[in-house]
Amino acid sequence: MTEGGVENPVFEPPSPDLRRQQQQQRRAGGPPRPPPASAPQQVYEEGPCGWGRLAPRALQLCNNAEGYLAAYSLLAIFQGIVVNGLVNVSISTIEKRYELNSSLTGLISSSYDIAFCVLSLFVSFFGERGHKPRWLAFSSFMLGLGSLVFSLPHFCSGTYHYGSKIEETCQILGTNAANLTCNASTKSSLSNYLYVFILGQLLLGVGGTPLYTLGTAFIDDSVPKYKSSLYIGIGYAMSLLGPAIGYVLGGQLLNIYIDVHLQESAEIDPDDPRWLGAWWIAFLLCSFATWLLIIPFSCFPKHLPGTAKIQAEKISETHNDGSKELVEDKNIGKSFKDFPLALLILLRNPVFMCLIVAAATEALIATGFATFLPKFIEHQFSQSSSFSATLGGLVLIPGAALGQIISGILISKYKMDCKNIIKFILGTCSVALLLNTVFLFAKCGNEPFAGVSETYNGTGTLWNLTAPCNTDCNCLRSFYYPVCGRDEIQYFSPCFAGCTSSTSEKRKRTYHNCSCVGKPPRLPEVNVAYEAIPGKCRAQCMLLPVFLGFFFFTVVFTFMAVTPTTVAILRCVPDKQRSFALGVQSLFLRLLGTIPGPIFFGVAIDNSCTLWDVNECKTQGACWVYDNTRMAYMLIGISAACKVLTIFFVVVAFCLYKAPSSSSVSLEKNAEMASGIHV
């Protein structure tokens, strides 16, 4: 400290601890190792919030970690709305409108992950030393552009023509016969819009890459170590609101006719199979809303005020394998030629690799259930598809958000170090494994289904929907519209139930003159006013509340490991590789988790199918009926196997982790005193 001047740590003499360590190294016979301060030090360019010289005083209220977290959370919400909400809600409508099969729409869905995988390593490597908030401004622009491009096919494909109505009742005179011819050779140019949808998803993938790599690392840079898990947990929890909002918003907009200007003249309603909703409106709204977030991200400085002090107070917990010293001494990450060596350093870190493999197996379970939990509830407990989707969302979204917030609070409150965080992950995964046993006791058998598990009143054969009572009806197997007969047996459609007429009263339809439907089993002498009603028969199994309760806590404990895993990864790698480590983690999460997860679960569920849709061209389509018991065992098999793998790799990470020695920690604290601050 000079008289009337400002204390500058660069000119402070070495501390007694540093001198003592250097003397001990000389006595050991080797040359004294230069302190880390001799290596190039991180320069923190802190500054006001604004655009160059334009820095209004009001903006400085947001120039802190809380202001950045608010902007980050909004961007994560909009990303979730579009990518994980609207795309999933709209995919069936897009299939019908643009005549795409499920494999092609699957390609559309996976295009986001493809772009993320290709770019995650490079964006996280180059963005580590760059201006992270400006990378997030670029992310906002690309997410908005991708959303806009995804909606373009609606404006280029013309008016939707819904055609004539498919008869759902039995037509003895053969009215349906004309529909039984195979039209496999007919091909429409509408399918070419597939490439526009893929382009939109690729642009969304480009925009999403900086968000969960550089954006998360910036949070960790800007807050004290013990608060990092809380802030990251809040950010991740907010990102889960996106899919929930996307499902609700997209579902409501699907009740509006696809061509809004023709809403009044359309002669069909949302209950008609030919109805297509206005899927494109939400994509258009989200594109402009996301572009507005460019403004706040572009005004944040490269580092928030106080970052240098926060970093100086942090004590490194990097796995003690020599990687930290190598990165600092060689200043790895400054140029592109360092990319292979930087990647090799991370891949050779056993603790880091074990944690990302554990995170990937957890992601496999999470994405699998996020995709197929509604289907499981629908078939296991005989619920409608819309109600099953609602129940699935009510379990998954709050459970996942609650788990991440709770884990973030606990880690921050007890100021856990890296070793204890890994132990915490191990505990939550073990509890989640035990709760997974809900599939063993909260499962239901199959309800009676004519032509599948039951004959038609003693006529016909099993696994054959056609029986003497409906042979002359010319029913379509490609038109699945289940009805429940008064005999408490489910039928594939009114046509297969032999119903020749229907009535509607207050939008409630009933079917009559059903030749295949028997008398009520409980009170056969009572004359019921209908013979069949739309929908599946009410399930006799009453275990749905039990399943939902147990599965909710399974989701909570599963997601309690997400935030701690991210924090542990940030702790066990060199400080200058944190963003790059998140990029590598994102790559592995997709290659080993989110991409194969729905595939594995889909194959398992398909293996439990007992009745497939086979169209007039003898092409196998979707599955109509499943073996519920087999489905439950298949799902618990996959989830339990993944949980065991997760626990194994977490245990290995715990055993292999070596905290930095006390001498290196002391050297680091002295080196941090020499860091400069640019304002």
Structure tokens at 193: 């819009």
609 or 623, which is more confident?
A: 609
| pLDDT score at 422 | 93
> If DSSP states are collapsed to H, E and C, what string results for 526-563?
CCCCCCEEECCCCCCCCCHHHHHHHHHHHHHHHHCCHH
Identify the bridge partners of residue 502 per DSSP, sorted by sequence position.
511
- Give percent of the chain with pLDDT exceeding 90: 18
350, burial (CB in 10 Å: exposed 0-12, middle 13-18, buried 19+)? middle
Q: What angle do CA 577, 409, 661 make, to 5 degrees?
A: 45
Give the pLDDT mean for 523-545: 73
pLDDT tens digit sequence for 68-93: 999 999 999 999 999 888 887 787 77
From 191-195, 348-352, 610-614, the region with the lowest mean pLDDT:
610-614
| pLDDT score at 524 | 53
Identify the bridge partners of residue 504 per DSSP, sorted by sequence position.
509
C-alpha 421 chain-centroid distance: 24
pLDDT tens digit sequence for 624-633: 778 888 888 8
pLDDT tens digit sequence for 166-223: 666 777 654 444 444 555 445 557 778 888 999 999 999 999 989 988 888 888 888 8
pLDDT tens digit sequence for 31-47: 444 444 444 555 666 77
Per-residue pLDDT at 20 exceeds 70: no
Q: What angle do CA 427, 430, 435 make, to 5 degrees?
A: 125
| pLDDT score at 672 | 47
Per-residue pLDDT at 107 exceeds 90: no
Structure tokens at 87: 């795309």
H helix or E strand, kind and range, residue 491: strand 490-491
| pLDDT score at 69 | 92
Per-residue pLDDT at 24 exceeds 70: no
| pLDDT score at 1 | 40
> Distance (Å, rounded) from C-alpha 357 to C-alpha 565?
11
187 or 99, which is more confident?
A: 99
> Distance (Å, rounded) from C-alpha 496 to C-alpha 532?
11
| pLDDT score at 620 | 65
DSSP 8-state symbol, 473: G
331 or 603, which is more confident?
A: 603
25 or 318, which is more confident?
A: 318
| pLDDT score at 627 | 84
Per-residue pLDDT at 348 exceeds 80: yes
Of 451, 518, 500, 501, nearest to 172 (Cα)? 500
> Distance (Å, rounded) from C-alpha 171 to C-alpha 85?
40
Give the pLDDT mean for 258-287: 78
pTM of the model: 0.76
| pLDDT score at 426 | 94
355 band by pLDDT with thresholds 50, 70 and 90: very high
- Give percent of the chain with pLDDT exceeding 70: 81
> Distance (Å, rounded) from C-alpha 513 to C-alpha 531?
7
553 band by pLDDT with thresholds 50, 70 and 90: very high
From 10-24, 297-311, 382-396, 536-550, the region with the lowest mean pLDDT:
10-24
CB 537 within 8 A of CB 384: no
466 φ, ψ (degrees, to nearest 5): -90, 135
Share the mean pLDDT of the chain: 79
148 band by pLDDT with thresholds 50, 70 and 90: very high
261 or 76, which is more confident?
A: 76
